[in-house]
A and B are shown apart, each in its own frame.
Chain A
Amino acid sequence: MRLNGKLWMVVVSLWVALVIPGKSECAAPQKAYPSGPVTMIVSWAAGGAADTAARALAEATKRFLGQPIVVQNVAGAGGAQGAVQVAKAKPDGYTIMFTTGSMVTQPHFEDVPYKVLEDFIPVIQVGGYPTMIVVRTDSRFKSFKEVVEYAKKNPGKLNYSTSGFGSIHHLLAERLFQSAGIQLTHVPFKDLRQGVTALLGGHLDLSAATPFDAVGHLQEGRVRALGLFLGERYKDMPDIPTWKEQGYDSVGFGWWGVAVPQRTPHPIVQKLHDAFKKGTENPPFTTVMNNLKTPIMYLNSQDTLMKWKEDYKKYGDVAKTLSK
């Protein structure tokens, strides 16, 4: 029966062999960049929307970069864990980051050990999820105007859910309500989907949602979208009016993109940008984004930085109006 001991060993070593390679770091030799695999850090757990998009992007881009892009999940601290790891990484282009909009909202509420505008160079913006406000189809509110009328008479009586205090959805919604001059009770959930589920069960009045959380419910007519936080209508859901059209002011979206640590040489940034740009135009990224019902919104390196600065200030202003 000695064999079984060996078998156990084999099982364990097989497992180790399967798990370890994904984690190994790659030394950067003095050859033309990139001469080895590039590690892209995703600050969120595997299996979510950001992770799925990042993996599809990595898959689509690797042939244009000429090297594999290994996605590594460094989840935790609402995205700060991964951001810190990249901020501290060697600026050699072998450690890059899949960025999400939380980078410009989180620092206004939590003491995060990175400075978004100083520690990173944005490479590209690839897309972002459009947030909307939804109600149940059988809700008495047919439009946002009716919500405003009711809420003006009953301040704080209506409630709405987002994915947590200080989340981009919370800030966008608060800005909307402020511009409409109304006050609603905020009921935070761990993610948008849980809020949408509670909405479906009749436990909430309104909920913030992205197509990723609500597309099935929208198509089946279980929920109705009252408005969209994008600057213009979204081609895949042309019936949903923007807030701007309805006369309110709240535009913004949680963007996705790629960034590298500060002091990464310009040629490397350029090379990454060109490869990722081609990646955004090819499957599986295009197909996955289409299935996630998330628009591809390309911005180059400079424009992405402008957007970061603009958003950082915008959400900072909203944050100041919220009492802790």
Chain B
Amino acid sequence: MDSGIGQGLLTGFAVASTPANLLFCFLGVTLGTLIGVLPGLGPAGAIAMLLPFTFGMDVTTAIIMLCGIYYGAMYGGSTTSILINIPGEVASVVTTFDGYQMARKGRAGPALAIAAIGSFIGGTFSVVALTFVAAPIATAALSFGPPEYFALTLVGVVAAAYLSGKSLLKGLVMVIVGLMFSTIGVDIVTGGTRFTFGRIELYSGVEIVPILMGIFGVTEIMFLVEQPFLKQEIQTRVRLRDLWPSNPELRASAGPIARGSLIGFVIGLLPGAGAMVSSFLSYATEKKLSQHPEAFGTGVIEGVAGPETANNSAAGGAMIPLLVLGVPYSIITAIMLSALITHGLSPSPMLMTKQPEFFWGVVASMYIGNVLCVILNLPLVGMWVSILRVPFAKLFPLVLLCCVVGVYTINSRLFDLWVMIASGGIGYLLRKADYPAAPLVLALVLGPLMENAMRQSILISHGDPFIFFTRPISGVLMFVSLVFVSLPSVGWLAKRLGGAWRFALPRE
């Protein structure tokens, strides 16, 4: 077995390092990074648009490039989150919490650098795991049926409510609002339309990107317009030394990166919005384990390191069910599966032995691609940071333009732009009232998955709601969400009982 893997990797690197494959790997990660950086345009759209151009290509080369776009986007996604508080794609929403606060303190460089380093470690970790444990793990992931799926998404939304913002109540309110909005559209169980007011634009539900761009992008710009002079001072002092994380920062990031790699990999394997959920869970974990949980959200590097590692690790984890079973758990891997099938390949456990050049070539290219990404991204940190020197009066209209074009590209309809503007207005009011936007976005993304999974489970169990508790994995996950909801009261109790112990610890 081991010699098989060694032999495979050797074959793989031989395939991946041919000039054509190296070139397309580089093209893929560069394009991916760019797409990740630009708000509005996500990797799913980009991969889908590029798919027809791969018709004439060798299948290995094609998949190497498409994979490169996928994980490249995970590297780039953090950039705008950190610099201007606008996530490049959903998996980087969490990075706005502390990344942007770091940027406001003049620590944009370290935040970007640690995001790149974490991404590299997370990405490489998941490829190593893919190399060694792919086959057995993929089969285990199949045991996730609708009830487990529901329980997992429940953990996701509850964790989101718990961790973003100061008040659990406000977080929960936003989750519920998000879930309510996610019920708009055609109900797949009965075929009826709900809350569409006769607008066919709403038949397939609310589109997530316009809301993301509105509630983060437009809202942020409105806030900046409100206080044009206050913010401008932050970009003035950027010394080379400030681009790199300090030693204490590096030490503080080690734990979150290690845990983020594991969390991302495991969640990436499972159905659901893997990269996004894993970033939320990593953030929640770090906040829980931290000596100074109250500092989260004010610009601590752990809050960037963990989630950014996790979302890259999830991207690698998601490749396992795809390559080994032909089972895509996310939109992006579904498009990749189309690409594989279009090229006449059907993924299966036999792929490794039947098409070793392809399987190991793609795996090896992911090692190379991750190195390329970090080489590409670390020197760019300086450039990204200096973008903040562009006067906001010029920068933000450009950002807005990006959002508008990106949102219009998805479905080529004006309706989405109105949604973006409206969510911008709503986002502004929410922020004024201190309601966190992230749980809303996560609930919107997970809502339809959650509802479908719940109704599928109930149909399967013939109406018995205990299906969620009697199945072991689902039962454990339900328990975890219960823990998340009760955490604040547990914390309150702990403070009462363990006050003396807490006090003895040195602050900071």
Q: How far is the CA of A185 from the CA of B463 in the complex (A)?
A: 11
- Pull 12 A–B residue pairs with CB atoms less than 8 Å apart, ordered by A: A7-B383, A16-B401, A19-B405, A23-B412, A46-B48, A49-B338, A55-B52, A165-B189, A189-B188, A190-B188, A216-B347, A287-B344
Q: Which of B144, B200, B327, B459 contacts A76 (CB 8 A)?
A: B200
Known A7-B383, A220-B350; further 4 A-B contacts with Cβ < 8 A:
A20-B405, A47-B48, A47-B334, A188-B452
Report yes or no: A1 in contact with B41, Cβ–Cβ below 8 A.
no
| B325 contacts partner chain A, Cβ-Cβ < 8 Å | yes
Contact string, A152-175, partner B, CB cutoff 8 A, digits 1/0?
000011010000111000000000
Interface status of B413 (Cβ within 8 A of chain A): yes
Whether A111 lies near B193 (C-beta < 8 A) is: yes
A154 CA / B299 CA spacing, docked (Å): 60
- Distance A78 CA – B193 CA, assembled complex (angstroms): 11
Chain A residue contacts of B171, Cβ below 8 A: none
A46 touches B347 (CB 8 A): no
Cross-chain contact A185 with B346 (CB below 8 angstroms): no
Q: Which A residues are in CB contact (< 8 Å) with B188?
A: 164-165, 188-190
> Is there a chain B Cβ closer than 8 Å to A219's Cβ?
yes
Q: How far is the CB of A38 from chain B (nearest CB, A)?
A: 16
List of B residues within 8 angstroms of A187 by Cβ? 456, 459-460
Residues of chain A within 8 A (CB-CB) of B49 are: 46
Measured between beta carbons, the chain B residues less than 8 angstroms from A84 are 200
Q: Of B200, B201, B334, B349, which is in contact with the most chain A CB atoms at under 10 Å from its CB?
A: B200
**Assembled-state Cα–Cα distance A198/B146 (Å):** 7
B158–chain A nearest beta-carbon distance, Å = 23
Among B215-223, B389-397, B498-506, the one that faces the other chain is: B389-397
Q: Do B203 and A19 touch (CB < 8 A)?
A: no
Across the interface, which residues of A come within 8 angstroms of B341, CB to CB?
212, 215, 291-292
| A201 partner residues in chain B, CB cutoff 8 A | 142-145
Q: Which residues of B contact A (CB under 8 A)?
A: 34, 38, 41, 44-45, 47-49, 51-52, 55-56, 142-146, 186-193, 198, 200-204, 207, 271, 325-328, 334-335, 337-339, 341-344, 346-350, 383, 386-387, 389-390, 394-395, 398, 401-402, 405, 408-409, 411-413, 448, 452, 456, 459-460, 462
The 7 A-B pairs at the shortest CB distance, nearest first, are namely: A46-B48, A216-B346, A203-B145, A77-B203, A47-B335, A165-B191, A47-B48
Whole-angstrom distance between the alpha carbons of A204 and B198 in the complex?
A: 35
Asked if A4 is at the interface (CB within 8 A of a chain B CB), the reply is yes
State how many angstroms separate the Cβ of B75 from the closest Cβ of chain A: 16
Complex interface residues of chain A between 45 and 81 (CB less than 8 A to chain B):
45-49, 51-52, 55-56, 59, 71-78, 80-81
Q: Who on chain B is nearest to A161 by CB? A: B456
Give every chain B residue within 8 A of A78 (Cβ-Cβ): 186, 203-204
**A4/B200 in contact, CB under 8 A:** no
Shortest Cβ distance from residue A138 to the other chain B in the assembled complex, whole angstroms: 13
Tell whether, in the assembled complex, residue A189 and residue B52 are in contact, meaning their CB atoms are under 8 Å apart.
Answer: no
Contact flags A185-196 to B (C-beta < 8 A → 1, else 0): 111111001000
CB distance A47 to B47 under 8 Å? yes
Contact present for B343 and A1 (CB under 8 Å):
no
Enumerate A208-266 residues with CB–CB distance to B below 8 Å: 212, 215-217, 219-220
A259-B339 Cα distance, complex, nearest whole Å: 26
Nearest-neighbour CB distance to chain B for A65, whole angstroms, equals: 17
- A77/B390 contact (C-beta < 8 A), A8-B395, A46-B49, A197-B142 known: no
User: Is B409's CB under 8 angstroms from A12's CB?
Assistant: no
Does A110 interact with chain B (Cβ within 8 Å)?
Answer: yes
Nearest-CB distance from A279 to chain B (Å)? 14
Instruction: Out of B51, B200, B326, B348, name the residue touching A46 (CB < 8 Å).
Output: B51
Question: Looking at the complex, which one of B198, B343, B412 makes contact with A291 (CB distance below 8 Å)?
Answer: B343
Bound complex: CA of A46 vs CA of B48, how far in Å?
A: 5
Contact B45–A46 (Cβ < 8 Å): yes
Contacts of B207 in A (CB 8 A): 76
- B342 contacts A216, C-beta separation under 8 Å: no
Is B344 in contact with A291, judged by CB distance below 8 angstroms?
Answer: yes
Residues of B within 8 A of A198 (CB): 145-146, 456
Q: Which of A1-26 contact B (CB under 8 A)?
A: 1, 4-5, 7-9, 11-12, 15-16, 19-20, 23
Contacts of B448 in A (CB 8 A): 190
> If the complex has contacts A4-B390, A112-B200, A165-B191, are A15 and B328 also in contact, measured as CB distance less than 8 A?
no
Q: Say whether A324 faces chain B, with CB atoms less than 8 Å apart.
A: yes
Q: Is the CB of B412 within 8 A of A200?
A: no
How far does the alpha carbon of A166 sit from the alpha carbon of B189 in the complex, in Å? 9
| Interface presence of A181 (CB below 8 A) | no
Let me know if A110 and B145 touch, CB within 8 A. Answer: no
From residue A283, how far is it (CB to closest CB) to chain B in Å? 9
CB <8 Å contact, B51 and A52: yes
In the bound complex, what is the Cα–Cα distance between A15 and B142 (angstroms)?
39
Asked if B411 and A74 sit within 8 Å, CB to CB, the answer is: yes
Among A5, A113, A217, the most chain B Cβ lie within 10 Å of the Cβ of A5
Instruction: For B48, give its contact among A16, A45, A159 (CB under 8 Å).
Output: A45
Whether, in the assembled complex, A288 has its beta carbon less than 8 Å from a beta carbon of chain B, the answer is yes
Q: Given A45-B48, A166-B191, A288-B55, answer yes or no on A193-B390 (Cβ-Cβ < 8 Å).
A: no
| A51:B186 contact, CB within 8 angstroms | no
A52 and B342 contacting across the interface, CB-CB below 8 Å? yes
CA distance A201 to B347 in the complex (A): 17
List residues of chain A with CB within 8 A of the CB of B327: 193, 197, 200
* Cα(A70)–Cα(B203), bound, Å: 26
CA gap between A59 and B452 in the complex, in Å: 37
Residues in A with CB closer than 8 Å to B198 are 111
Q: Is the CB of A4 within 8 A of B201?
A: no
**Are B55 and A56 neighbours in the complex by a CB distance under 8 Å?**
yes
Q: Does A109 contact B (CB under 8 A)?
A: yes
A276-317 vs B, CB cutoff 8 Å, 1 = contact: the mask equals 000000001001101110000000000000000000000000
Query: In the complex, how many angstroms separate the beta carbon of A168 from the nearest chain B beta carbon?
Result: 13
A220, B342: Cβ atoms closer than 8 Å:
no
